[in-house]
A and B are shown apart, each in its own frame.
Chain A
Amino acid sequence: MSSGTGNDVLGRGLRVLGKAIRAEPRLFVVSSLGSSLFGLLIVANSYVVGFLIGHVVAPAFAAHRVSAAGLALAVAALLGISGLRVASIFARRLGAGFMQFRLQARYRRAVTRRYLSLPPEWHQRHATGSLLSNAGSDVEAAFAPIAPLPFAVGTIVMLLGAMITLFATDWVLAMVGVALFPALFALNFFYSRRMSPRQIHAQRMRAKVATVAHESFDGALVVKTMGREADESRRFAVFVTELRDALVAVGRLRGVFDPLMESLPSVGTLAVLVLGTWRLQTGAVTVSEVISVAFLFTVLAFPVRAIGWVIGELPRSVAGWDRVQAVLSAEGDLRYGEGELPGDGPAELRFDRVGYRYAGGPPVLSEVSFTVPAGRTVALVGATGSGKSTIAALALRLVDPDSGNVSLDRVKLPDLSAAALAGASALVPQIPFVFDDTVRGNVSLDRPGIGDDDVWAALRLAQAERFTGGLPERLDTAVGERGTSLSGGQRQRLTLARALAGRPRLLVLDDATSAVDPRVEAAILGALRAAGTSLLVVAYRRASIALADEVVYLHQGRVVATGTHQELMATQEGYRELVTAYEKADK
């Protein structure tokens, strides 16, 4: 991540603003017009005040007589300006706010769409906490300057208006503006240049704090069972302190900038007084003109800071934008083909000399070849860490192999369309994932053609009918985030039902019945076989293995042998040891 020099941060920040404006041109125009009107009204107001004093008040004082018409004019002018100002405030603030919120919403959608389309392998490389802050605080930071942007635009219009009136009034007094306004811009420029690295650092620390918090709350149970609350808090406090230091560093710089930014216009007012007096002496200006100009600089003080707000936010905006862009421009999407799978019977799965390694690691699978013939059951047996789950992921094309091919009904997986693939095959992962939703939502996932009857049928097949039937609101019961209100086995059955509900033509069960009683497991497998689904089952239990037509024995990422259970028992020492371990333990 580059910290960038002030120059390019300013430039890049302005480009982010440009993108934002192009995305929401209407709102930008409305709010900028509102804001410009607001700015011009400020200029107008000070001239009106100067005019009223010079032409209504002073003559009245001198004449000791009030002109009702004059006063009525004054009131009408001042109230009229005030009314217009209210209108301009609505246009500016609502326009700016809506623009900001719409942009945030748009980019949040875009970022999360990327999350949904980037492959699991990408997800593994990024911490959940930092992905959360990409969609949350980074998007917010990227568009933070939008809120004061129209105000700043209006201020620039106002400054231009002020310059014109200044020159129209007196060129000497105008020189104050000529000196002052560029000074304001220069100050802003140096500020953003120095601020940029600090903001980037602060933003990074923010993400870090979110990441640590997310992980720690994720592992809250482990923290609790080991009584490590105090240590976790200490670990967190380290990052909190770093974030604090980063933010204090931001504050120190702001401490220099804000008061200077505020004092400069006052210096202008004072300069006007001195120069104005001199010009009065020479008769070049009138008293009321000097007053108007002095008044003008006083009221400028506040709006001019809007420019500072925008520029001050730019470094943070760029930092947030970069982090958002990193997601939006992330590569490595799995490209899907157009292929469809004709027919709707069981499908054949074939692995052909498949090799795979996780990023940066040693090969996990090499030369893996086997076939699950249509309608048959194949058991995948291998020790812990031998690569079974990796095979399951490859079978569903959650990842693509480094070498070799995986095909379904003889169509290579990359040639299939996403819909064809998801429709034909289903995976019950080793660790059940339950959505924060109702039982029905978890099973049907709103897939077309899955009604309540199908949900119940799937639950029945997954042996989950009894417990879901006993839930207070049956299918409408919410199961909590990641299914916290269910037992481990209940979660497993729910995910099993989810896979069954889509009537897949190929079903991959990755140790999906470990928390299910043996007899129940056999019943489930039997029913599936009867339904004619092609099955790839990761299992250890003898009965489950015995149900299989064929067993693929995997050892350290290689297929050592393929055959029936009896054949492997007879020929493979390692296989025998693995599956008969419990019997041996008895002796």
Chain B
Amino acid sequence: MSDVGTFSTLRRGLALSPELRTGLAGTIALAVLQMAGRVSVPVAVQQCIDHGINGPSGPDTRIVLGYVSITLMVLAVSTFCGFLMTRRLFTVSETALGGLRSRTFRHIHDLSMLHQQSERRGSMVSRVTGDVDQISVFLQTGGVQLMLASGQLIVSSVVMFAYSWQLTLVVLLAFGPAVAVIRLFQRRLASVYRTVRERNGVLLGAVAESVVGATVIRSFGVAGRTGRRIDTAVDDLRTAQQRAMRTSVTSFSSGEIGAGLALSGVVVVGTLLGVAGDLTVGRLTAFLFLVTLFIQPVQIATEQLNEAQNAVAGWRRILDVLDVDPDVADPDDEGVELPAGPLSVRFRDVSFRYPGGPIVLSGVDLELGARRKYAVVGETGSGKTTFAKLLTRLMDPAEGTVLLSGVPLTAVRFSSLRSRVVMVPQDGFLFDATIAENIRFAEPALTDGQLREAFTELGLGDWLAGLPAGLDTPVGERGEALSVGERQLVALVRAYVADPDLLVLDEATSAVDPATEVRLQHALELVTRGRTTVAIAHRLSTAQAADEVIVVDAGRVVQRGPHSVLLTEEDSIYAKLYASWLEQTR
């Protein structure tokens, strides 16, 4: 990580939010005016000393009052400008950062499933919350202060120069070493602040696990272990923060030493100049005031540059996300719509491996006809879910192509794909809302009546009627206020109302009791006529009900055909599976 990295991150970070430039000129103008007020005070002091106090006629209150009232007016204007500037700054920066939050959020959703899973949830959340907050703190306090400080630096240098170029040179020379030290430290700071942000993400991840896994932790009595892990994360964060603080203070104090050198240099050189007759006491005094006006911004700038590193770390973490191209991308305008009507599926020599893992599907070559019902069966870990994810383009195959009704999946626009192809994943997820809201997630326009109808069509009307609040029953976070089977029912209805042409069910009824499952299956059969269904199941009752069964074993399709035909293939995997099923269920 280099100095260049810091500045290019800063540049790219700022470029991410072009909104930040809204009215920037006006904001800067206001800031300059505000600063003018600050500079007016030492000038007034000088004028008062030279003309009012040390004036020819001795101390003269009238002259002093004159200068003071002018300065007061300048101050009033500059204070008002400060007010306007802060207001603008907050509005602009918060609007821009709000946009950044939303865009990052969207980008995370656009990332491929595997990318999403490679990142811890707590850490993703921190990118749209804490990391952005860091930037906002910097833009609003640091940013203004840096801006004001640099303005003040320039103005006070100019004024100092007007008072005495020799003394100005002394001041600049005194700060030379400090500037070098500060530059040197920026590099260190960049890396320590990055560590701080990272460890913050790790901590949130650890805390999230203790919350989500609370029951398991309790039932195994391992709270101590989880607690120790969190402690480690907490302490790691604290050490990183302390290291960042030490580095930043060291860098800051070099500015302080510069200030001491500058002040003493000015006194010495100023006295020499004064003795030579080039300077009045008033001018030297004013110059000393000006030096403090010069020192202040240097200190503020050092401080804020340190803060900036924090913001840069935040920006960098956001860029880290935004820089990841959604590798399973929406072809968007270049894409095509799926042809109307029921969809057929073709897997052409498809292989897949998870990143860094072994091959889990190989040489899958399949054709699934439109309007037909398929069951996919196979052992745990044989690759069924992987197959379903390739079919719904949650992932792209490593080799080969998946086609829907002759169109390669990669060419299909997501708007078309996601409305026509719907999967109910193995772990059906519900949002913390009511049943109705969860189902409307798929079809926002549905009325309560239509929702009820959907339940009735799937034979779940009685279940819904039995709920205390019916459709308005809250399901709790992740659906936890429902039983696991009930969650699956809701997830199924949600997919059903989406009315897809290809419905993929990955163990969608694994927790539902047999009687309800059978009823559901009958109902689905009636209502899914006309659409293509692919159902993955361990319960072979699903396979029996399908038009055709696809048997997966160790990543290969080893058998396919109607249940009755496969049964006759003696010693086949399916025959064995079914024998076992019969034996276990009858």
Contact = CB atoms under 8 A, between A and B. Distances in A.
Nearest to A364: B483
Contacts of B8: none
B116 to A, nearest CB: 5
A251 to B, nearest CB: 2
A583 B545 CA distance: 12
A487 B425 CA distance: 12
Interface string B64-101: 11011001100100111111111101110011011001
Nearest to A393: B215
Contacts of A358: 481
A386 to B, nearest CB: 8
A482 to B, nearest CB: 8
B222 A445 contact: yes
Interface stretch (A181-189, A451-459, A538-546, A558-566): A538-546
B292 A298 contact: yes
A44 interface: no
Interface string A69-87: 0010011001101110110
B56 interface: no
Contacts of A482: 212
Contacts of B486: 384-385
Interface string B161-193: 000000000000000000000000000000000
Interface string B519-550: 00110000000000000001101001100000
B61 A281 contact: yes
Interface stretch (B40-48, B310-318, B397-405): B40-48
A362 B468 contact: yes
Given A78-B260, A435-B209, A60 B274 contact: yes
B468 A82 contact: no
Interface in A298-350: 298-299, 302
Contacts of A217: 108, 116, 121, 124-125
A120 B215 contact: yes
A53 B380 contact: no
B498 interface: yes
Interface stretch (B225-233, B332-340, B363-371, B448-456): B225-233
Interface string B85-129: 111011100110110011001101110010011101110111011
Nearest to A234: B102
Interface stretch (A2-10, A156-164, A220-228): A220-228
B125 A213 contact: yes
B90 to A, nearest CB: 2
Contact of A502 (B220, B252, B517): B220
A521 B539 CA distance: 13
B271 A273 contact: no
Contacts, number: 526
A244 B136 CA distance: 11
Contacts of A52: 267
Contact of B242 (A75, A101, A109, A489): A101
Nearest to A97: B245
Interface residues of A, number: 184
Contact of A481 (B34, B120, B260, B477): B120
A213 to B, nearest CB: 5
Given A481-B120, A481-B205, A581-B517, A58 B215 contact: no
- Identify the interface centre among B68, B249, B477: most chain A CB within 10 Å of its CB: B477
Interface in A110-136: 112-113, 115-120, 123-124, 127-129, 131-133, 135-136
Given A78-B263, A136-B203, A487-B380, A89 B271 contact: no
A220 B585 CA distance: 36
B270 interface: yes
B348 to A, nearest CB: 23
Interface string B346-364: 0000000010010000000
A492 B427 CA distance: 12
A571 interface: no
Interface string A387-427: 01100010010100000000000000000001101110111
A433 B507 contact: no
A232 B227 CA distance: 34
Contact of A218 (B58, B118, B444, B478): B478
Contacts of A117: 223
A447 interface: yes
Contacts of B54: 287
A190 interface: no
A281 B125 contact: no
B567 to A, nearest CB: 13
A256 B481 CA distance: 48
A543 B585 contact: yes
B405 to A, nearest CB: 18
A215 B431 contact: yes
Given A105-B237, A105-B238, A263-B37, A232 B109 contact: yes
Contact of A255 (B90, B512, B518): B90
A252 B140 CA distance: 12
A220 B109 contact: yes
Given A79-B260, A93-B249, A109 B212 contact: no
Contacts of B515: 383, 577-578, 581
B379 A517 contact: yes
A78 B234 contact: no
Interface in A533-587: 540-544, 577-579, 581-586
A29 to B, nearest CB: 18
A61 B260 contact: no
A543 B34 contact: no
Contact of B75 (A131, A215, A263, A486): A263
Contacts of A74: 264, 267-268, 271
Interface in B355-414: 357, 379-381, 385, 392, 394, 414
B320 interface: no
A42 B507 CA distance: 73
A90 B246 CA distance: 9
A273 B584 contact: no
B423 A225 contact: yes
B204 A136 contact: yes
Given A64-B275, A542-B585, A579-B514, A276 B200 contact: no
Nearest to A421: B221
A247 B235 CA distance: 31
Contacts of B430: 219
A206 B98 CA distance: 12
Interface in B419-446: 419, 422-432, 441-442, 444
Nearest to A295: B289
B544 A498 contact: no
Given A104-B238, A487-B381, A582-B585, A223 B109 contact: yes
Contacts of B423: 225
Contacts of B482: 385
Given A240-B102, A384-B485, A418 B221 contact: yes
B90 A248 contact: yes
Interface in B230-262: 230-231, 234-235, 237-238, 241-242, 245-246, 248-249, 252-253, 256-257, 259-261
B45 A519 contact: no
A370 interface: no
Nearest to B384: A487
Contacts of A422: 218-222
B510 interface: yes
A53 B109 contact: no
Name the 9 nearest CB pairs between A and B, nearest first.
Answer: A82-B260, A227-B418, A251-B90, A422-B221, A489-B380, A259-B82, A384-B485, A255-B86, A518-B584
Given A290-B53, A426-B219, 12 more contacts: A71-B268, A79-B264, A81-B260, A82-B259, A97-B241, A109-B231, A116-B226, A230-B106, A262-B38, A484-B117, A517-B577, A544-B584
20 contacts: A60-B275, A61-B280, A61-B281, A89-B253, A105-B234, A116-B227, A124-B476, A129-B125, A229-B110, A233-B106, A240-B98, A240-B101, A251-B87, A273-B45, A277-B64, A280-B59, A385-B482, A433-B213, A435-B213, A578-B514
